[in-house]
Amino acid sequence: MNNKKLFTYIFGIGLLFISAYASALPFYYNSDEQGWQQTFVGRPAGSTYDVLYANTAADWRANNGNPDGNIYQIAGGVNKRAYWMGYNNSNFLGDLNGSKLQTDIYSTNNWQTLANGSGGDDGNVYARWVISHDVGNNLYNMFISDRANSININTIAGWETHSIELNADNFFRWPNSAANSETFEQVLSNYSSIGLYIFSGTDLISNMNGGTGTWNSNSQLLHYGAYSNDNNNALWALDNFQAVTVPEPVTFLLFGVGLTVLVSLRMRKV
């Protein structure tokens, strides 16, 4: 193989190596919220117990992102706690097996939950990665990141980049789901919703339908959503949400071997 052909071969491997890190349909939010939605949890006027508010378009701003446009959510007090920002659309990123999720995230670091250290809570507030597949008729399969692989939104310094590898060890199945036949890998290849939830610091989370420690004596959901722990607004924001392919080890090996051979040939010519 002459040097020209070898260079072409290695260049092709290099492109493969680079493309392995290329994101599929990233969300930059430069001009709008790009279809992302938000919801809150709490007690609307007239209700005697906590409910999920109806989904609305995520709030968007043209500046203060990383850089420029970003989406954000501001808690409206204990009766309208920040709960979820995400995207609903069938297979909008394709098959996510072998990938990781990555996002830039910002927080005002003044969050609290109603759990406040009870029911297995560690006292912190986390943005938890969530992936689900809605199979219709209110039946779904949903997986949520465990505490160790979630983002503590009270310790973020400015804009930070966080990611999670999409393997089953980093997630647990949402409890009490009506449909639970799909494996984590099957949901990744056929999901309909993706985003981040705001929860307390316990992995002993139960579905709203019940479970020890889910509700307090005031008919409030202890671990769902968060609100300000002072007199200032509590805000969290997202930018540059994307799926990134995790390269197989063979990709690194081929690229390294190709570079070694090319350097060796160049040295011989000298």
Note the pLDDT tens digit of each residue in 156-177. Answer: 999 999 999 999 999 999 876 6
Residue 268's pLDDT band, with cuts at 50, 70 and 90, is low
Residue 142 in contact with residue 131, Cβ under 8 Å? yes
pLDDT above 90 (res 148): yes
Distance of CA 139 to the CA centre of its chain: 22
Mean pLDDT is highest, among 12-26, 87-101, 134-148, 228-242, for 228-242
Give the mean model confidence (pLDDT) for residues 94-104: 92
Q: Which residue has the higher pLDDT, 15 or 116?
A: 116
Task: Check residue 262 and give left, alpha or beta (phi > 0: left; psi -120 to 50: alpha).
Answer: alpha
Length of the chain: 270
Give the mean model confidence (pLDDT) for residues 192-205: 92
Q: Which residue has the higher pLDDT, 267 or 55?
A: 55
pLDDT above 70 (res 9): no
d(CA 236, CA 108): 7
The residues, ordered by sequence, that sit 6+ positions from 265 with a Cβ below 8 Å of its Cβ are 3, 6
pLDDT, the chain, mean? 83
The DSSP symbol for 170 reads: G
CA distances from 101 to 57, 96, 165, 168 (A): 22, 9, 7, 13
Mean pLDDT is highest, among 79-88, 138-147, 168-177, 182-191, for 79-88
pTM surpassing 0.85?
no
Burial class (CB in 10 A: 0-12, 13-18, 19+), 26: middle
Mean pLDDT is highest, among 2-16, 147-161, 213-227, for 147-161
Coil, helix or strand for 246? coil
Distance of CA 30 to the CA centre of its chain: 19
Residue 10's pLDDT band, with cuts at 50, 70 and 90, is very low
Q: Which residue has the higher pLDDT, 9 or 186?
A: 186
d(CA 252, CA 18): 11
Q: Which residue has the higher pLDDT, 269 or 237?
A: 237
Coil, helix or strand for 184? helix
The residues, ordered by sequence, that sit 6+ positions from 96 with a Cβ below 8 Å of its Cβ are 131, 166, 188, 189, 191, 243
Give the mean model confidence (pLDDT) for residues 127-133: 95
Amino acid identity, position 191: Y
Q: Which residue has the tokens 């943005």?
A: 127
d(CA 52, CA 26): 28
Q: In the structure encoding, which two tokens stand for residue 222, read together?
A: 């202890």
The backbone torsions φ and ψ at residue 126, rounded to the nearest 5 degrees and listed phi first, read -125, 140
Q: Which residue has the higher pLDDT, 268 or 246?
A: 246
Residue 121 in contact with residue 179, Cβ under 8 Å? no
d(CA 262, CA 10): 8
Q: In the structure encoding, which two tokens stand for residue 44, read together?
A: 């609307």
Q: Give residue 138's pLDDT.
A: 73
Q: Which residue has the tokens 């260049």?
A: 11
* Helices (H), ranges, 92-194: 184-189
Helices 3-19 and 249-269 pack at an angle, to 10 degrees, of: 150
